[in-house]
Chains A and B, each alone.
Chain A
Amino acid sequence: MDIHCNTARERLSDYLDRTLGPAEREAVGRHLEGCPDCDGHLAQLRGLVTALHELDRVALPEGFEARFARRLEAEARMRPVPAAPGRATSGRPWWAGWFTFSGWPVRTLAGAAVAVVLFFAFYAPGPGPGVGTNSAPVALPGTRAVPVSAPAAMPHIDLGQDAQVRIWFDVPQDLSGVRFTVELPAGVRMVKDNRVVDSGYVTWEGDLKAGRNVIPLHVRGVARGEWTVTAKVERDGAQRARSIGLNVDGA
Chain B
Amino acid sequence: MDAAQGMDKRAEAALVEAARGGDAEAYGRLVAVCQRPLFAYALRLTADPHLAEDLCQEALLKGYRAIGGFTGASALSTWLYRILHNTWLDHVRRDGRSAPLGDAEQDEGEDPPVLAREAVARFHDETRGADLRERLEKALGAVSPIFREVVVLRDVQGYAYEEIAEITGTAVGTVKSRLNRAREQLRALLSDEEGAEGTPPEGKNAAVKKG
Contacts and interface: CB of A to CB of B under 8 A. Distances in A.
A13 B173 CA distance: 12
Nearest to A92: B68
Contacts of B161: 17, 19
B210 A36 contact: yes
A60 B22 contact: no
Interface in A48-80: 48-49, 51-56, 58-61, 64-65, 67-69, 71-73, 75-76, 79-80
Nearest to A70: B57
B158 interface: yes
Interface in B58-83: 58, 60-61, 64-66, 68-69
B211 A40 contact: yes
A51 B39 contact: no
Contact of A58 (B43, B68, B209): B43
A73 B155 CA distance: 35
Given A44-B191, A71-B57, A75-B64, A56 B204 contact: no
Q: How large is the interface on A (under 10, 10 to 19, 20 to 34, 35 or more residues)?
A: 35 or more
A58 B39 contact: yes
B211 A72 contact: no
Given A6-B204, A14-B180, A72-B28, A37 B40 contact: no
A14 B183 CA distance: 11
A6 B65 contact: no
A17 to B, nearest CB: 8
A79 B209 CA distance: 60
Q: How large is the interface on B (under 10, 10 to 19, 20 to 34, 35 or more residues)?
A: 35 or more
A5 B40 CA distance: 36
Nearest to A35: B210
Interface string B125-148: 000000011001100100000000
A51 B210 contact: no
Q: Which of A48, A53, A71 has the most CB of B within 10 A?
A: A48
Given A14-B180, A49-B183, A56 B21 contact: no
Interface string A84-116: 000001111111000000000000000000000
Contact of A79 (B22, B60, B112): B22
B84 interface: no
B35 A41 contact: no
B9 interface: no
Interface string A5-27: 11001101110010100000000
A10 B176 CA distance: 11
A45 B183 contact: yes
A75 B22 CA distance: 10
B35 A60 contact: yes
Query: Taking chain B's interface residues, is the majority helix, strand, or loop, or is none over half, making it mixed?
Result: helix
Contacts of A79: 22, 65
B117 interface: no
B106 interface: no
B88 interface: no
A154 interface: no
Contacts of A141: none
B39 A5 contact: no
B66 A93 contact: yes
Contacts of A45: 183, 187
Q: Which 9 A-B pairs have the closest CB atoms?
A: A76-B24, A91-B68, A58-B40, A52-B155, A13-B180, A37-B210, A40-B210, A44-B211, A82-B21
Interface of B: 20-22, 24, 27-28, 32, 35-37, 39-40, 43, 49, 53, 56-58, 60-61, 64-66, 68-69, 111-112, 132-133, 136-137, 140, 151, 154-158, 161, 176, 179-180, 183-184, 186-187, 190-191, 204-205, 208-211
Given A13-B184, A93-B65, 10 more contacts: A5-B208, A17-B154, A55-B140, A56-B37, A61-B49, A65-B35, A89-B20, A89-B21, A91-B69, A128-B58
Interface of A: 5-6, 9-10, 12-14, 17, 19, 36-37, 40-41, 44-45, 48-49, 51-56, 58-61, 64-65, 67-69, 71-73, 75-76, 79-82, 89-95, 128
